[in-house]
Structure 1
Amino acid sequence: MYIAQGKQGKLGLWKYIPIPLIFVAILGLQYLVMTLLNIDTAALMEKEILERGKNSVFVEGMLFMAAFLIALLFWVKYVHKQSILSLTTSRTEVDWGRIFFIFGLMSSFIIISTLLVYFLYPEIYEINFEPVPFLILAVIAVLLVPLQTSFEEYLFRGYLMQGLGIATKSKLFALLFTSILFGVMHIANPEVGKIGPIIMVYYIGTGLFLGIITLMDEGLELALGFHAANNLVSVLLVTADWTALQTDSIFIDVSEPDSGYQVLFPVLIIFPIFLFILSKKYKWTNWKDKLLGSVN
């Protein structure tokens, strides 16, 4: 039902091409230049931060995504003639309770797990808290991070999933394609250089998890809340000098990343637990049809 809501607008394959193509082309060109010129992404980011400061680099990245969010919503409303509500949910109105529930669930998990690791292995984290820089970061992050995460959700789990599902009549194809593309979008992140290509399992796995909860719940609310919590709490609580988002967070992770644990634990343990909790709370049924069925 959620995917089929894309039919409420004026269909046309060409209409689905410009926004994703421009976005992917920019990221692809960036990655191509980095690869051909053998540029160290982490070193480049370190240089930019030293010259302009963490907040400037962070804001620039967030505003880039915010601009695309505005462009995407404008395109949907005025070119597709589709309502933003139908792009967001199959319900008669956006269910903010769903957004806040999963935001709280994910935030609690990140905070508790981070504090647990800190008390068990204090050598992993370095306390970085300074009141003024942190408060500035908090204001910036609260205002901009939800725009960044919302753009990614509206693009992948909303716009592209609806468009691909309608075009192919396959929910599974839409789910897998958008999940893989979501993972590939992160290929230029410094985490890939630090941990290795195996981290793509985490990125694609995250995309798959977000796609599943979108299809099962017939709306973007859960994906929007989860993604916002993941990025917002992370940039406020703990960052590292080898991640894409480096901020004046409370902790700095000074350990060497463990590719096996950091990649596989969320995908194989945490995401299934979240799926179980959400399925029980929202009484999901008919998994086969919602994930593998055809789009009518």
Structure 2
Amino acid sequence: MLAQNDFLAQAKIGNNQPWRYIVGMILVLLALGIFSIPQVLVTDIKSGRPTVASHWYLLVAIGSFAGGILTLWVWLKNSHHREFQTLITPQSSVNWKRVASSAAVWLVCTAIVELGMYSFFPEMYRFSWNPQQWLPAFIVGFLFLPIQTSCEELIFRGYLFQAIGSRNVVVGLVISSVLFGLMHRFNPETAKVGFALAMSYYIGVGLFFALLTYFDGKLELALGIHASNNIYAFLLVTYPDSALPSPSVITMTELNFPLMIVGWLLAVVLYTVTIKWVFKWI
């Protein structure tokens, strides 16, 4: 049986009745929906594709996640009477160096795995770099994508995992991971590869982030990985039917989800070995 730790115990600070967490989740999810209306307005209804340049589309889409973070902050402060950083760490402040180090390690691990995949399947990769499109995408993506990834981490591995995990760790791991996966059910790749295969990937990703957060006792490493992963996918290597179309440097010629899952698992192993035994959890 997994024991509770200081990170999960943050849910017991202030007003911690279960109904407050239920209402808080509902309010945050409503905020995500309401603040996503501008994104709907710049999306073609039939194709589901953006009607504006990718960097502008990303900037509009980020508004939804900024609204989610703001709603969570207001509710946490005024209902739970908790400090916002308690969603990230039981310490008095967030160690942003660990967040950045985790992002850097994940980026290197992903690039190593990608190079290995390229050596076996070179026909799956196509050089697609367009400087005029890529440079504004780089600025917007590098600066604002962490808002999207941080919002998801704060909601699922912070707020939700703490709320449930402070009562039962295993149930918290499962529910936070499953709901994280279901949040991606409307992504274009889910319809392309099938619900079951897509959910096995997204739920698995959520479970890895949750386990990493649990064993590290902080959300910092997961924050770094998630930001690095999405920036990599937006700016360096993308694939057809991506939820966020981008003018990346390289585009995969086909969406091979089983192979993508294998690559993800290899990156997870390489990352875990690197941070645990090389950097001693950084």
Bin for the TM-score computed over the shorter chain: 0.7 to 0.9
Measure, in 1, the Cα distance between the counterparts of 2:230 and 2:278: 24
Secondary structure of the equivalent of 2:129? coil
Displacement after TM superposition at 1:23 (Å)? 4.9
Secondary structure of the equivalent of 2:230? helix
Counterpart residue type for residue 100 of structure 2: F
Measure, in 2, the Cα distance between the counterparts of 1:212 and 1:42: 38
Displacement after TM superposition at 1:104 (Å)? 0.7
C-alpha distance 96-274 of structure 1, shift in aligned 2 (>3 A): same
Q: Which residue of the partner structure matches residue 95 of structure 1? A: 95
Moved more, 53-62 or 221-230: 53-62
Moved more, 15-24 or 227-236: 15-24
Secondary structure of the equivalent of 1:79? helix
C-alpha distance 274-110 of structure 1, shift in aligned 2 (>3 A): closer
Displacement after TM superposition at 1:102 (Å)? 1.3
Displacement after TM superposition at 1:13 (Å)? 2.2
C-alpha distance 264-43 of structure 1, shift in aligned 2 (>3 A): farther
Q: Which residue of the partner structure matches residue 267 of structure 2? A: 270
Q: Give CA-to-partner distance per residue, 1:200-224, whole Å, 9 cap, x none.
A: 1111111111001111111100010
Secondary structure of the equivalent of 1:245? coil
Q: Does the CA-based 8 Å contact 2:213-2:221 persist in structure 1?
A: yes
Secondary structure of the equivalent of 2:218? coil
1:44 corresponds to which of 36, 43, 47: 47
Q: Which residue of the partner structure matches residue 76 of structure 2? A: 76
Measure, in 2, the Cα distance between the counterparts of 1:232 and 1:153: 15
Q: Which residue of the partner structure matches residue 6 of structure 1? A: 11
Q: Which residue of the partner structure matches residue 254 of structure 1? A: 253
Displacement after TM superposition at 1:45 (Å)? 2.2
Secondary structure of the equivalent of 2:80? coil
Q: Give CA-to-partner distance per residue, 1:32-64, whole Å, 9 cap, x none.
A: xxxxxxxxx996223xx2x32323322222221
Secondary structure of the equivalent of 1:252? strand
Q: Give aligned pairs, total.
A: 266
Measure, in 2, the Cα distance between the counterparts of 1:128 and 1:265: 21
Measure, in 2, the Cα distance between the counterparts of 1:184 and 1:69: 19
Q: Which residue of the partner structure matches residue 231 of structure 1? A: 230
Q: Does the CA-based 8 Å contact 2:107-2:228 persist in structure 1?
A: yes
Q: Between the two proteins, what is the percent identity of the paired residues? A: 31
Q: Does the CA-based 8 Å contact 2:31-2:68 persist in structure 1?
A: no
Q: Which runs of 5+ in 1 are unaligned?
A: 30-40, 285-296
Does 1:85 pair with 2:85?
yes
Displacement after TM superposition at 1:17 (Å)? 2.2
Q: Does the CA-based 8 Å contact 1:69-1:148 persist in structure 2?
A: no
Measure, in 1, the Cα distance between the counterparts of 2:66 and 2:152: 10
Counterpart residue type for residue 226 of structure 1: I
Q: Which residue of the partner structure matches residue 242 of structure 1? A: 241
Displacement after TM superposition at 1:225 (Å)? 0.4
Matching of residues 61-140 of structure 1 within 5 Å: 61-118=61-118, 121-140=121-140
Q: Give CA-to-partner distance per residue, 1:124-166, whole Å, 9 cap, x none.
A: 2222222232111111112210000000001011101111123
Q: Which runs of 5+ in 2 are unaligned?
A: 1-5, 35-43
Q: TM-score, normalised by structure 1?
A: 0.81
Measure, in 2, the Cα distance between the counterparts of 1:25 and 1:84: 20
